[in-house]
Structure formats: structure tokens, C-alpha cells
Amino acid sequence: MDEEVKNLKVQTRRKEKISKNKADWNWIIRITFIAFMISFAFSFTSEMIIPNVNVLVGILLVIVFILLGVLFDMIGVAVTAADEKPFHSMNARKVKGADIAVKFKKNADKVASFCNDVVGDICGVVSGSAGAIIALSLSDVIPLDKFIITLLVTSVIAAFTIGGKAIGKSYAMNKSNIILYQFAKTISYFYRIKK
């Protein structure tokens, strides 16, 4: 038993050395640029729409950002937790989306980084800043101090975001293959792998 543990540790160290030496700078630069563009688009949308609509529409937009963040966080977890074998079998039978699921699983670190870190985190930041705008609008209607209203709104947004992600992660761990397949199948309507 001790020998197996030692072998496992040696293999893990070798993989760590290889992965440290092979940093994919092209991917890092590309994902940084993509994050900037998505963040810019989401923030622009939030800053342009929320101050010009009533509070209820603003709250609905914040809920959409929270749900989008939770959904992509769930997808990122599912991709890393899914088992690749069933998708190879489905791909051999030409099941729609299975080829994309295999590609996502082979690139799980990049897919998870995009889903969790880019979309998920950007949605969290944008919903927080949108919440601050909503809090200012609410302070005109509710006879409370702006500081208290802002504190309450941002706390509620943080609580729903964290709670939603906790539920999503738990669900994604238990239903990872189904989530990955449904996501890959949806993507397959817009993207085809070149063969």
C-alpha cells in the first residue's frame, strides 16, 4: 500500500513539472483578452440600461446576471467532474454533441477557466455594480440612509450568488455527465468540429 502511494506521488510530481514547464501563453493571452471583452460588454450593458429603467427591471437584470454566473459556474464544475468514456461511446454512435463533449473534456481546464473564471466571475462583478446602481435608485424611494440600502442590496446579491453557486456545484458534481452533454449538444447547434 505504501509503495502505491509513493508511486502516485512520484507520478503527480512529474505531471506538475510537465505542466509548469508547458504554460500555454497563447491561451493565457487569449483568455485575458476574451475576459476583457466580455467584461466590457456586460458592464456597458449594465451601466447603460439599469440607470435608465425602473427598479423592477433593474432587479430582473441583476437576477439574470446572477443566474448566468451560477449556470456557467455549474458547467465549469461539470466539465471537470464528468467521465470522458461515455462520450467516446456516444461519439462512435454519432450522437449529436458527443464530439464536442469529448473536446470539452479533453480541454477541461480551459473550459472550466472560461466558464468559472471568465463568465462566472464577470457576472458576479457586474451584478454587484448593478446592485449599487439599484441601491441608489431605491434610496430615492425608501426613507433609509443610502449606506444602509447599498449594504443590504449588495449583501443580498452576494448571498444569492454564493448560495446559487453552492447549489449549482453540488448538482454539477452529481449530474456532471448530463450537464456536459446538454451543454455540448446546445453548442453543437452553433459550432461544428472540423474533421
CB 112 within 8 A of CB 28: no
For the chain, counts of helices (H) and of strands (E) = 9, 0
Please state, as a whole number, how many other Cβ atoms lie within 10 Å of the Cβ of residue 143: 6
Specify the pLDDT at position 156: 93
Q: What is the DSSP string of 117-141?
A: IIIIHHHHHHHHHHHHHHHHHHHHH
DSSP state of 187: H
- Between 21 and 115, residue with greater pLDDT: 115
Specify the pLDDT at position 112: 92
Distance in angstroms (rounded) separating the CA atoms of residues 97 and 49: 35
Specify the pLDDT at position 124: 87
- Closest by alpha carbon to 165, among 115, 130, 92, 131? 115
- Closest by alpha carbon to 38, among 126, 151, 102? 126
Q: Quick: pLDDT tens for 118-172.
A: 898 888 888 888 888 888 888 888 888 888 988 999 899 999 999 999 999 999 9
Specify the pLDDT at position 10: 59
Residue 5 has pLDDT above 60, yes or no: no
Q: Which of 16-25, 35-44, 133-142, 184-193 has the lowest mean pLDDT?
A: 16-25
Torsion sign (Cα): 90, 96, 101, 104: positive
- Closest by alpha carbon to 87, among 75, 79, 95? 95
Phi-psi region of 179 (alpha: psi -120 to 50; beta: other; left: phi over 0): alpha
Amino acid symbol at 39: S
CB 159 within 8 A of CB 87: no
DSSP E strands, 48-192? none
- Between 46 and 190, residue with greater pLDDT: 190
- Between 53 and 195, residue with greater pLDDT: 53
CB 67 within 8 A of CB 59: no
Task: Find the length of the chain.
Answer: 195
- Between 151 and 3, residue with greater pLDDT: 151
Q: Quick: pLDDT tens for 75-130.
A: 999 999 999 999 998 988 989 989 999 999 999 999 999 999 889 888 888 888 88
pTM flag (> 0.75): yes
